[in-house]
Structure formats: structure tokens, C-alpha cells
Structure 1
Amino acid sequence: MEKPFRKILVIKMRFHGDMLLTTPVISTLKQNYPDAEIDVLLYHETMPILSVNPEIHALYGIKNKKAKTTEKIANIFHLISTLRANKYDLIVNMTDQWIVSLLVRLLKAPVRISQDYSHRQSPFWRNSFTHLAALNGANVVESNLSVLAPLGLKSYVTHTTMSYNPDSWTRVRDALNSAGVDERYVVIQPTARQLFKCWNNEKFSQVIDALHDRGYEVVVTSGPGAEDLACVEAIVKGCKTAPVTALAGKLTFPELAALIDHAELFIGVDSAPGHIAAAVDTPLVCLFGATDHIFWRPWSTNMIQFWAGDYRPMPSREHRDRNEMYLSVIPAEDVIAAVDTLLGAPKAASTEGNT
């Protein structure tokens, strides 16, 4: 399909980490159509994670379930009016919400591509698009890129991108200086949206103590919610030496990216910050529970991943208990060994004269 597309709309309505995993699609479109303006339609609350991406022309946020009904209706009508005026010649859809089929019909782009979802096979959905692309790939990044197959592109960008401006790093570095953190620090984000993705607080405390023993500062980050901050406080109470928590709950996504980008190592669970670490190519240790650890793993070659399924059988998705901490079977000692692998031998193991 040889077309000089100039106005492209990418649609993806998922959570923060999912949005970061769409960046190879955006980069591939920009590489093949360098003169095109690429806009993204996404959930309003996930806009910050893509807010500094230089390949995106504009972000359009759709109100999620938390908004009032009147706000959601007003938002939809405003978006339809704005997006119609943009006169897109290509729409690339990677979301399965039913409203997308109606939206793309109203936008009337000549080329409308969607991933072919098995649960969206109604004539109305299928006929809303000019092309349906089979989902292929062992990882979500590969699956996302498969939507572009109908375009017949010769080259693809396969790395994820997390962007931040220099002033984000300046603000973070100033905060680190105020907290007494030097250049050799490790970032740990222990929190996730749901319990089944979390690890034991006391095990994070053990890992933090091991890092301090090895001469590293530890910066613990989290979201701003009360539960996240309570988790951080509980971890600190279990540590022999408290990590730095001054930035917990206070960073924007670009600032978090700057912090992780300059870290020696990132440690976290199945959540967006792990994908940020992969995007900025910081070595990482990630812990997965009753999740598809292959499909959803961070897109990195500089990583050690732990999956609870290697320690005990994991339930299928339909039998998953979201209130069970599946990661609890992963020993702290194994994670500490992975830290030593990625950072090098601990100081205690060094020969005399090289300490």
C-alpha cells in the first residue's frame, strides 16, 4: 500500500504501560511517513506518559469511567468534532472498545486499519475498517506492530521510547542532591495497581539492605495514592538503613523516566515503571506473578525476569485471584543474586586493594 499519508491517528485506550508499548508503532509510522503528523487518541489520564514524545503531533484524551456521565458525553462530542476537522487519511486502531467502530465511521478516513479481535466479529465492527490485521507475535510489542501489516512496510522500529526534557532531569537531580544521593543509585518501585502483582514488603526491605551493603544508594518511588505511600512506609520500617523516599508519589512520568535513565539499576514488579526502564535501557530486575510473563515482559535485553510460575503452578487467567500475592513465592535471595549479576560482584567479594 503505497500512500503518502500526511494525517495519521493512532487509537489505543489502555493503561500507562500499555501506552508506552505502542511507541514502536508510532516510531515505525514516523520512519516510513516522515512528513506525516501523527496524533494519538488515548485515555485522558494516560496522556502524561507520552506527553514529551517528539514523534507525536497531538494527544487527544478520552474521559474514562471515573468521569461523570455529563463530562464523558461532552468529551466525546468535542473529540468527534475536533478529530473530524483534522481530516485523517489513515487510522490505526489497537483497542477493542466498541465505541471505536462508531468513531472511525464518523471520521471517514480513507484507510482504516484495526487489529482483528476474536470477540469483535460483528458486521458493524468489521465493516467499520478497510483492513483487519491478524494479531501476531509472542510479545505485546510484536503484537502491536502486527497491526501495520496491511501497509506493506519495508522497515519497522522495534524499540520502545520514553522521552523527557532536560529540565525534568535537572529537577530530579536537584531533588537527589537535596536527599544526599550521589551518582551510584538504584531505583525500586514496589507498588502496582493490584495485589496479585505485588511482592512482600519485607523482601523488598531485604533487597534494599543488600544494596546498601554493596555501597549503593536506594531511591524508592511510587504513585501518589495513600496505599502506595503506605507500602513505601512499611518497606522503610523493615530496613536496617532507610532508603530515600523523598521522591515517592511526587514525580511526573517524564521525571520518573529521567530518574530511572540515570540509575545503575531498576527493580520493580509488573507495572509501567518496568517498561520505562526498558525504554531508557536501564538494567532491570522485574517480578511477575499470575500474568503472561512472556507476552507482557518489559521489552529489554538487559533484564533478569522472575516469574512466580517457576516456583509454583500459576492459575489460568479466568481462575486468577486478584487478592492473592502470587509473587510471595519468589525468594529475596534469588532477587539479590540477580542484582549481583547485573551490577557485578558485591564489594565484599572484591580482592584486597580494589575495594
Structure 2
Amino acid sequence: MKVAVFSTNQYDQDFLTQYNTGHEVKFLKVSLSEETAAVAFGYEAVCVFVNDKLNKAVLDLLAVAGLKLIVLRCAGFNNVDLPYAEELNIPVLRVPAYSPEAVAEHAMALILTLNRKTHKAYNRVREGNFSLEKLMGVNLFQRTVAVIGTGNIGQAFCRILKGFGCTVKAYDPYPSSDMQDLGVIYGTLEDTLRDADIISLHCPLNSSTQYLINENQLKQLKRGAMLINTSRGGLIHTHAVIKALKSGIIGSLGLDVYEQESEFFFHDFSEDVIQDDQLTQLISFPNVLITGHQGFLTAEALSEIAKVTFGNIDAWYSGSELVNRVRP
């Protein structure tokens, strides 16, 4: 098949080239949008990532261009108008579980860095400053951690937390018996959040989870709690979180995702003024750590993404069962 790959970085090209099963692939640095959809003219499939837009307008343009297949090289699909894709008879296939451990380990890295302030210590030592003032953390042992969403990534995260000796509470509409056997305590969202020292989000973004962490929920938190989001930016209400940081309700914040990240993440703005007041405000806080959606970025995860992506293309091309198809 002829496949147009959008939002391509060098690591995408390296791994997709390595695991290509014989398709004609065009790598494009641009993200997919109404303005760029025309470059997919004549391609039977598009391969897209988290910040590519596949709304009704884009899907119309792609359909006219001859599109037959959409392959996501990610697990989330909130950026796709699934009902309209179904109406156009364009299958949408995803990579449901490329490496749960990759994202779970990154969430743990954010926690450890914020808690023990290793990023600040690193900068101090490079300047010859070996003072330990204001670098104090707390033991994670016996701390209570709320895990919101216990799918593959959430479960991997729970196993890491149990290794640290944490008390793990969780909220998920579908509790996992394996996690319950591990000692994870399930409850309502409110009960799970209420006494948590750390909250980590591992759920998909949809109509029921949009702004899951909002002003009302933030008021219920234990004062000084740490909030971690490595899932989707729209799970938290950014303005409300900024207010909670200022008031001390949130003691520290770790983000690998941001609600308006499509305008900035995966690009270099080091020589520019960032035109997003909320993002620049968050970056300015000493108790906030932001990474640019790199939780998935391990060799194992990229290998699996490439393998499953071409497996999805091969399945459609050969008329086999589309096991990774996403339905509305």
C-alpha cells in the first residue's frame, strides 16, 4: 500500500523503516490537519500520531483523495471523529498496548524527580553549588497513591508502586481482579482521591473523562498532594490546576501531556516566545515538571508500535480480521 506518515520525527522514520513489511511509505514532518490533508492525495492509508487532527473536515478531504485506511501509531483515538470515519467506511486501527511499562516508568520518573528534586540538584552541582537547602523530599514507602485508570499502563504503574511499598488505591469502572489480588484498593473517584499523597492519571480521554480533574475534584484533595498526568492533557482543567498550585492544594505537578500540546510539543521553540500564557505560567512554577510527551519514547515501545502498525496495514490489505479496529 501507499502510506503517508504524518508528524514524523527521525526516530519514527528509523523504526518504521526497519519494520516495514513492503509498503511504499512517504514520511512527512507536518501534522495532519485541514491545511495539510492535500499532501495525502493518492495515498491509500495515512499513519498518524496523537496530535494529528482527523475531524469531519479532514476526513472529507482524505476521502476525496482516495483514502481507504487510517492507522494510529498510538493507543488513544480521541483525535479521530470515529462515527464519521465509520460512515465513510474508512477503518481506524490503533496500537492498543505498545509498551505499558514505558509510560508507567516515565510517570514514576516524574514522581521521583519532583519528590527528591534531582533536576534542581543536577543544575546546582553543575554550578558548583553543593548545598542541600530546599532539596528535602519524603519517603514514598507507605505513602498513599491514587491511580485513576487501571488498564495496561495503570496496572504496570501499580506494580511499580507496590515495589516501593506504597499503599495503592484505584478508580476504574472495571476493576481488575489481578490488581485486587496485588493489594490495590478500588473505590469511587472521590474516595480514591480524598486521602492520596500522589494522584496519577492513566485513563483515556473521552466525553466522560474530559476535565476529570476539575475545580470541584481539586477541592477534595489532601493539601499538598502531587498530581501526575502522562495520559491526555484534556483530563485536567488547566486553569483550575494553576489556581490549585497557587493556593497550595497541589504541592507539585508532573505533566507529560498538555491540553493545547498540539501547538508546541514535538517542536523546538527555544528561540521563540511561547504564545500560550497557561503553559508559560506552568513552566515558571518551581514545583512543576513538564516533559514533551516522551512517556512512550523507549526502543521497546517504538519497535512494538512499528510492528503493530504494519501488522494492521497487512491485515487490511490481505482481508484478514482487523483485531485492532476502533469502533465508535
The answer to whether TM tops 0.5 is: no
Bigger CA radius of gyration: 1
Return the TM-score normalized by structure 1: 0.29
Larger RCO (CA under 8 A, 6+ residues apart)? 2
